[in-house]
Structure 1
Amino acid sequence: MGIVRWTPPQQVSEQEERFLERMGQTGKLFAFLRRHRHELLDEGFQKELEEMYRGSGAGKAPVPPGLMAMATLLQGYLKASDATMVELTVFDLRVQMVLDCLGNTEPAFGQATLREFRQRLIRTQMDKRLLERTVEVAARQREFDWRKVKPALKVAMDSRPLEGAFRGIRCTRPVWRC
């Protein structure tokens, strides 16, 4: 059994168009990611993401890596913890629009899935590739100052575990023991 590719529609729906019109300056990255997700996560790049997984077919089928990559970009931009990001897939229409899950009442993925995907990205150095690819597409599209994309997304791509994996966890012991 192979990994299922994420294939959200390229055409913007009427509801999404209304959201995109309202985003203005405060939602430019959401609008950019929605309009260009098919370019950012084209067949070739999704194949690169799939190569992070072993081919044995053992274990649980992963959530499509393209979807998780897009969620990781949003998480970095929003500076959200893993738990918060999972909840945003249910409560935030901007996130739902980008992830192609408008109207979902259940999370698009679990907290452990997001953490494991991020660790897999870091282990294979695909975190840097994802960030570079996003900047490349932003530079090519010229919809906004693409130089600001990299710093805005860096938190999700940072390989230091305390930057993303443990955000939002309360701990009474020193952080290095949690």
Structure 2
Amino acid sequence: MPGGVNSPVRAFGGVDVDPLFIASAKGSKIYDIDGSEYIDYVGSWGPMILGHAHPKVLKAIATASQKGTSFGAPTLAETALAKKIIAAFDSIEKIRLVSSGTEAVMTAIRLARGYTKKDLIIKMAGCYHGHSDSLLVAAGSGLAEGAIASSGGVPDSIAKLTVVIGYND
């Protein structure tokens, strides 16, 4: 694997340390392959809001997986979840469930560009918003500035459509 990990954000290259390889996790704690314990302030980059290996989540996964794990087609469960989310938030009229934060941000960018008829997007310097070409501009530690791709393979023509701004500037 390039960089020894499955995602550039997990390589820790921007902070010049070796990546942690995690062996297990429970609650708010993660344990690396050397047995060291850490408080997980990252929460798997967002989705672990109930902590790792929460008993109710594990039970729900076990129950749901008995019906199958991936269908490539709509399910009644995802429709029910979408309805619950819409009912909980007055501002939401429609929802699309996606598999990753990258897909969610790409969808938001596509909707914004379609609505505004503008190609430029703004993102914050040093922030990782997902692994798509428009977002791999000045991503990570903040060491890169301006419309400079943080990864090879991102065309300059795409990088130029991303305006990078700093916080409190």
**Structure with a larger share of its residues in strand:** 2
Q: Which has the higher contact order (CA 8 A, sep 6+)?
A: 1
The interval holding the TM-score normalised by the smaller chain is under 0.3
The TM-score normalised by the length of structure 1 is 0.26
**Structure with a larger share of its residues in helix:** 1
